[in-house]
């Protein structure tokens, strides 16, 4: 009997010793995740010890019946997993050998926010740790609209954005970065997302106003310039009465005259200065789901989402998030011009890209590391981004969507201009840029997927 008790004491001592030696550790701070992206929830054994033969269980400690992922007896056993996590959790089995039981959670949802417990158990010991996860969902870029005038001619500017989580902060800033107070503030919650709308009244002409929507780790910004024309337009109804008769009288003659002048203007102002470039799209740079025609003149989304592969060498020169493709030929001097038919496509981006631009990841179009582009968003807003960090995206509404867009580049002057070819009108120009390496034509069908089968077509008939 004494021998039996002694044996139990020894075994107990060994168990205690082992449990004191090893511990399960997680994240030192809260883990922040972005809705729609993947996140790693850290969990490992210290000191390093293989957990291949152990039980690894991830739970939501803030929910009842909350199995997130279970690994036991050398395989995943997720029969009782919470429905919303099905197909989105993964342990890297090779890492288990090194004591790493971190959980990869794909396509993060707002509902994933909460407290997670990582529990690891062997035959002789067990321990757990908790990981707090906060989710942030980025909303739409803010849109600024002119919302009328007050009696003194003050300009009402309204800024709105939707699809955020948690509730974002919206603020107006003047050209000096001074915060402006809003006259009206509206916040709405729909399911798990927030929309915000703020209005201010400004009186200063030819000044820049910024609308900034931000969370703890993310920010989107738009700007508007209060030109003199905007302020003068509040008097427009009075002016219209005085000229309407004249317009009616000359309309019949002017219609033909204007059409001729516009055509001549396009020929003299654009064709005279542009170097026609035979743009051929380089399929070797295209996102894997894009279909580039054999002649390199058309591109469309193949509507096939591909599984990620580990053969990174084969994918190095391809875009992996944006449905984008570069032209085969670049240039480093002079001027060039190309046109793209965008008719029937509600989402597109066109422009030029620097030779050394990064093609990987989801943030390259926001940061614009060497991309000079214009594009269409939400079927009615033109989109611009500047070529420096933390600069705003600019959206402005269009009366008519372009059907064909021209891109003109003057390398020495540092200029990239965009034109609506059908209306012979100027859309926007980046000026005073610094080009120090080759530039390549850039064509994109947006981010991640494009359900419209209509191709973007490089035009050769100008």
Give per-residue pLDDT as tens, 143-163.
888 777 777 778 888 899 999
Which of the listed ranges 1-10, 179-188, 269-278 does the model predict with the highest average pLDDT? 179-188
* Confidence at 194, pLDDT banded by 50, 70, 90: very high
Whether pLDDT at 316 is above 50: yes
**Residue 246: what pLDDT?**
30
Label residue 399 by pLDDT band (50, 70, 90).
Answer: low
Q: Range with the lowest mean pLDDT among 17-31, 46-60, 114-128, 166-180?
A: 17-31
Indicate the helix (H) or strand (E) that contains 301.
strand 298-301
Range 273-459 has CATH code 2.60.120.1140 = no
Q: Taking residues 118-129, what's their average pLDDT?
A: 94
Highest mean pLDDT among 187-201, 213-227, 379-393, 415-429: 187-201
Containing 263, the helix (H) or strand (E) segment is helix 236-266
Confidence of residue 428 (pLDDT cuts 50, 70, 90): confident
Domain ranges of the chain: 22-136, 143-226, 235-268, 273-459
Rounded Cα gap, residues 261 and 158, in angstroms: 37
Residue 365's pLDDT is what? 55
Other beta carbons less than 10 A from residue 38's beta carbon: 13
pTM across the whole model: 0.50
Residue 124 to residue 122: CA distance in whole angstroms: 5
Q: Which helix (H) or strand (E) holds 435?
A: none
Average pLDDT over residues 418-445: 85
What pLDDT is stored for residue 25 in this prediction? 94
* Mean pLDDT (whole number) for 225-254: 40
Query: 356 or 270, which is more confident?
Result: 356
Tell me: pLDDT of 56 over 90. Answer: yes
Instruction: Answer for the pair 366, 385: CB distance below 8 angstroms, yes or no.
Output: yes
Q: Which two tokens stand for residue 207?
A: 């000044």
Q: The sheet that has 89-91: what strands, in order across it?
A: 39-41, 103-105, 89-91
Mean pLDDT of 40-66: 91
Element (H, E) at 44: strand 44-46
Q: Is the pLDDT of residue 359 over 70?
A: yes
Consecutive H or E run containing 193: strand 193-202
pLDDT at 165 over 90: yes
Fold for 22-136, please state it: Immunoglobulin-like (2.60.40)
| SS3 label, residue 153 | coil
**Residues 383, 437 contacting (CB under 8 angstroms):** no
Share of the chain above pLDDT 90, in %: 41
Q: What is the Cα–Cα distance from 133 to 426, expressed in whole angstroms?
A: 47
Rounded to an integer, what distance in angstroms lies between the CA atom of residue 449 and that of residue 343?
18
Same CATH topology for 22-136 and 143-226?
yes
Of residues 30 and 422, more confidence is placed in: 30
pLDDT at site 425 = 76
The pLDDT score that the predictor gives to residue 375 is 85
Q: Which CATH superfamily is domain 143-226 in?
A: Immunoglobulins (2.60.40.10)
Residue 6: exposed, middle, or buried by beta-carbon count in 10 A (0-12, 13-18, 19+)? exposed
Tokens of 457: 């077509």
Q: Please report which residue ranges of 38-104 form alpha helices under DSSP H.
A: 93-96
């Amino acid at each position: 009997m004494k021998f039996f008790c002694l044996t139990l004491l020894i075994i107990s001592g060994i168990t205690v010793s082992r449990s004191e030696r090893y511990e399960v550790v997680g994240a030192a701070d809260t883990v922040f995740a972005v809705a729609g992206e993947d996140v790693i929830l850290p969990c490992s054994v210290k000191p390093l010890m293989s957990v291949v033969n152990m039980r690894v269980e991830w739970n939501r400690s803030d929910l009842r019946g909350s199995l997130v992922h279970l690994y036991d007896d050398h395989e995943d056993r997720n029969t009782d997993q919470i429905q919303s996590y099905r197909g989105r959790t993964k342990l890297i089995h090779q890492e288990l050998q090194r004591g790493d039981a971190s959980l990869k959670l794909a396509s993060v949802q707002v509902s994933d926010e909460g407290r997670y417990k990582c529990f690891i158990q062997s035959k002789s010991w067990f321990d757990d740790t908790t990981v707090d996860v906060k989710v942030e969902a980025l909303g739409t870029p803010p849109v600024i609209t002119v919302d009328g005038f007050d009696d003194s001619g003050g300009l009402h500017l309204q800024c709105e954005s939707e699809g955020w989580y948690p509730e974002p902060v919206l603020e107006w800033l003047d050209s000096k970065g001074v915060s402006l107070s809003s006259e009206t503030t509206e916040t709405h919650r729909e399911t798990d997302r927030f929309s915000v709308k703020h209005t201010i009244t400004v009186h200063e002409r030819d000044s820049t106003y910024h609308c900034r929507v931000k969370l703890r780790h993310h920010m989107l910004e738009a700007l508007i310039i209060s030109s003199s024309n905007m302020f003068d337009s509040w008097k427009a109804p009075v002016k219209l009465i005085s000229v309407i008769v004249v317009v009616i009288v000359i309309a019949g003659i002017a219609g033909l005259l204007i059409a001729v002048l516009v055509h001549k203007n396009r020929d003299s102002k654009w064709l005279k200065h542009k170097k026609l470039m035979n743009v051929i799209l380089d399929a070797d740079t295209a996102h894997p789901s894009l279909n580039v025609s054999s002649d390199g003149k058309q591109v469309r989304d193949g509507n096939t989402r591909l599984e990620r592969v580990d053969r990174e060498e084969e994918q190095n020169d391809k875009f992996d998030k944006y449905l984008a493709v570069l032209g085969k030929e670049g240039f480093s001097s002079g001027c060039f011009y190309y046109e793209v038919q965008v008719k029937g496509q509600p989402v597109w981006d066109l422009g030029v890209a620097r030779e050394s631009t990064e093609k990987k990841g989801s943030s390259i179009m926001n940061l614009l590391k060497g991309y000079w582009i214009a594009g269409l968003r939400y079927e009615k807003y033109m989109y611009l981004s500047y070529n420096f960090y933390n600069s705003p995206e600019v959206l402005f509404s269009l009366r008519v969507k372009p059907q064909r867009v021209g891109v003109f580049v003057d390398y020495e002057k540092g200029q990239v201009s965009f034109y609506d070819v059908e209306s012979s009108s100027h859309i926007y120009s980046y000026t005073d840029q610094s080009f120090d390496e080759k530039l390549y034509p850039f064509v994109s069908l947006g981010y991640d997927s494009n359900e419209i089968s209509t191709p973007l077509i490089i035009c050769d008939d100008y």
